[in-house]
Structure 1
Amino acid sequence: MTDYLMNTWYMGGWGHEITDQPISRRLLGVNTMFYRKTDGSVVALRDRCPHRFAPLSKGKIINDQVQCPYDGLVFDSTGQCVANPITSDTRIPEAVRVQRFPVLEQANIVWFWPGDPARCDSALIPQFPYLADVENYKHVYGLTPVKAHFEIETDNLMDLSHVDMLHPAFAGAFNKSSKYTAGRNGNTVFSHWHTTNTRNTAFLEYGPFPTHGAPVDQWLEMYWQPPGAMFLEVIVTKTGEPRSAGYSTKNVHILTPETEHSTNYFWSGALNSEDQVPLEVFREGFNNAFEFEDKPMIEAVAAEMGEETNLLAMKPLLLRSDGGSVLARRVLAELIARERSEDAGSAVAAE
């Protein structure tokens, strides 16, 4: 069974997905309900009534409170039961409540904290401020469900050497001159590629950066933050021109486990505001890459691994380009081990 890092932030959804009508999403094996209050704030509750375990998301939101669709119990935004319509007894025990998760919304991302609420730390939220910059960027957003452990998807994103094989529209990013570097700064892992004098990708040639056959220099720079938030910047220039003169695309990839063997893969891409590429064409290019090219391969890998979720435990052949993905796995394992040690220490102290 997967041992998740608990005292951290996971993505629950895009801000524009959350309205005054409840939605349910399975996150870390737990059905979780989100809805937006009249003041605009987001609520995250366990999607299970404590009485008969009915999904609260199938109920009604009334005055910022949720009513169970089965027996009518009403819970406020803190999870406390505040009304029982089938009895005149107004005394409702404090224990009659639904688990509430701390939640914060930043730059159109709704983050939730599944661990100890007393340890909730907003400083740990990964920062993607450009997502909130609608003046200089126009954004596309997506969610791709993948039937694989979320670290298998992390491996895919941290090792972009598969691009030329799986993604024809983005092919051309690599040649014999390609240089790869990976490393760690604190808990952040980077995985970078730099290629000179290569052909432009079809995505850029027929989109925001046409070079009309002239070769390009390209940088692919991926950064990972635990447990599964990644930022990719792609920079391309005509060969020999300075990097600062290049065209840049910014992309966010965030993975939240659905279960031990499935993942919620949230993704976003951005065009510069002056780019003439239709946003729908841009979105379809991303969706095609993640839904119809990456996803089948990742799910095939997961199926071959069977019940095993730790790739390294199967002693795979490791290439130099695996440096970033291996580092990300090791950092996450360290953090989980430290958290479990702290939890054990706290339990002993409480005895």
Structure 2
Amino acid sequence: MTDYLMNAWYMGAWCNEVTEKPMSRRLLGVNTLFYRKTDGTVVALRDRCPHRFAPLSKGKVINDQIQCPYHGLVFDGTGQCVANPITSDTRIPEAVRVQRFPVVEQSNIVWFWPGDPAKCDTSPIPQFPYLSDNMTYKHVYGLTPVKAHFELETDNLMDLSHVDMVHPGFSGVFNKTSKYTAGRNGNTVFSNWVTTDAKNAPVMEQTSFPTNGAPIDQWLEMSWQPPGAMYLEVAVTRTGEPRSAGYSLKSVHILTPETEHDTHYFWSAAIYSHEHVPLDLFRAGFNNAFDFEDKPMIEAVAAEMGDEIDLLSMKPLLLRSDAGSVLARRVLKELIAKEKQEYYQYDRVG
């Protein structure tokens, strides 16, 4: 069974996915209900009525409260049962409630906290302010379901040496000059490539920085924050020119486990608002890369691993370019171990 880091912020949805209509999404093995109240705030509850375990998401939102579709119990946004329509007894025990998850909306992302509400701290929420900067950028958003443990997807994103093999639209990233560095700063891990005198990738040729065959210098800079939020900046400039004279492409990649063998891969990319690239064409390029190039490969790896979810336990060949993904796995393992230790210490004292 997977050990999840519980006292952490996970992405539950893009903001525009959550409306006044109840939506259910399985997150960390738990069906979770999201809906938006009339004042715009988001509610996240366990999608299970405590009476007969009916999915609350199949019910109705009435006056900012969710009514169970089975026997009609009504729960407010805190999870407390506030009405039982089949009895005249208005005394509802405090214990009749649904688990509530703390929620924060930030930069078009709905973050939720599955752990101890008393330990909820908003400071570790990953910051992606450009996602809400609609003056400077045009954004595309996506969600790709992947039948694989979420750390396999992390490995894929932290080791971009696969790009030339898997993604023709982004090919040309590497050559004999490519230099790789990886490291850790606190709990943040970086995995970066620098290549000089390379060819511009076909995707970049469609942006406002076409080079028509002229060589470029390129930076691929990926950073990871636990448990699964990554930010990638791809910067290019004509060979020999300063980086500031070139172009950059920003993207966010956030992974939330659905189960130990399934992952919600949330992604977003941005181009500058003045660019004339059709947004549908831009979106289609990323959809193709993640849904039809990355996904089949990662799922094939997961299928080969069978029931095993820990790649490193199978002692794979490790290359230098695996350093970033190995570091991310190590940080997450450390945080889970620390959380367990604190839990057991508290349990013994209690």
User: TM-score normalized by structure 2?
Assistant: 0.99
**Mapped contact 2:146–2:264 kept (Cα < 8 A):** yes
> Helix, strand or coil for the counterpart of 1:157?
helix
Q: Report deviation, 1:245.
A: 1.0
| Shift in Å, 1:209 | 1.8
Measured in 1, the distance between the counterparts of 2:194 and 2:98 equals 50
Cα RMSD (Å): 0.6
Aligned to 1:277: 277
Note the alpha carbon deviations across 1:169-194, whole angstroms, 9 max, x for none. 00000001100000000000000000
Percent identity among equivalent residues?
77
Post-superposition offset of 1:241: 0.8
- Secondary structure of 1:331's counterpart equals helix
Counterparts of 1:18-167 in structure 2, within 5 Å, are 18-167=18-167
- Structure 2: how far apart are the matches of 1:85 and 1:37? 22
1:246 deviates by 1.3
Displacement after TM superposition at 1:206 (Å): 2.7
Residues in 2 aligned to 1:26 and 1:92: alpha-carbon distance in whole angstroms: 29
SS of equivalent residue, structure 2 residue 123: helix
Q: Distance in 2 between matches of 1:69 and 1:125?
A: 34
Q: Within 2, Cα distance between the matches of 1:281 and 1:72?
A: 47
Aligned partner of 2:14 in structure 1 is 14
Partner of 2:301: 301
Report the AA paired with residue 237 of structure 1.
T
CA distance, structure 2, for counterparts of residue 40 and residue 11 of structure 1: 18
Q: Deviation string for 1:254-285 (max 9, x for gaps)?
A: 00000000000000000011111011111111
| Alignment-derived partner of residue 209 in structure 2 | 209
CA distance in structure 1 between the partners assigned to 2:31 and 2:73 by the alignment: 19
Amino acid at match of 2:135: E
Aligned to 2:319: 319
Q: Deviation at 1:208?
A: 3.2
Output the CA distance in 1 between the equivalents of 2:209 and 2:254.
26
Q: Structure 2: give runs of 5+ residues left out of the alignment.
A: none
Structure 1 length as normaliser, TM-score?
0.99
Q: One-letter code of the match for 1:32?
A: T
Q: Secondary structure at the match of 1:122?
A: coil
SS at match of 1:284: helix
Partner of 1:198: 198
State the SS of the aligned residue for 1:303: helix
Runs of 4+ in 1 over 6 A off after TM superposition: none
1:67-117 per-residue CA deviation (whole Å, 9 max, x = no partner) reads 011111100000000001111111111111100000000000000000000
Give the partner amino acid of 2:297: M
2: distance between equivalents of 1:306 and 1:246?
A: 45
TM alignment of 1:216-295, pairs within 5 A: 216-295=216-295
User: Could you tell me which amino acid in structure 2 is paired with residue 171 of structure 1?
Assistant: S
For 1:120 and 1:37, how far apart are their aligned partners in 2? Answer: 22
Q: Look up the SS of the partner of 2:135 in the other structure.
A: coil
The SS at the match of 2:284 is: helix
CA distance in 2, matches of 1:7, 1:151: 18
1:132 to partner: Cα distance = 1.0
What is the distance in 1 between the residues matched to 2:257 and 2:345?
A: 27
1:41 partner amino acid: T
Match of 2:86, SS state, is: coil
- Alpha-carbon offset, residue 207 of structure 1: 3.0
Q: Deviations over 1:145-204 (max 9, x none)?
A: 000000000000000000000000000000011000000000000000000001110011
Instruction: After TM superposition, give the deviation of residue 52 of structure 1 in Å.
Output: 0.9
Distance 2:127 2:245 in 1: 25
Residue 170 (structure 1) aligns with: 170
Q: Aligned partner of 1:347: which letter?
A: D
Letter in 1 for 2:115: G
Contact preservation (8 Å) 2:209, 2:246:
no
Q: CA deviation at 1:304?
A: 0.4
Query: In the alignment, which residue of structure 2 is the partner of 1:310?
Result: 310
User: Which residue identity does 2:44 align to in structure 1?
Assistant: A
Q: Tell me, what secondary structure is at the counterpart of 2:2?
A: coil
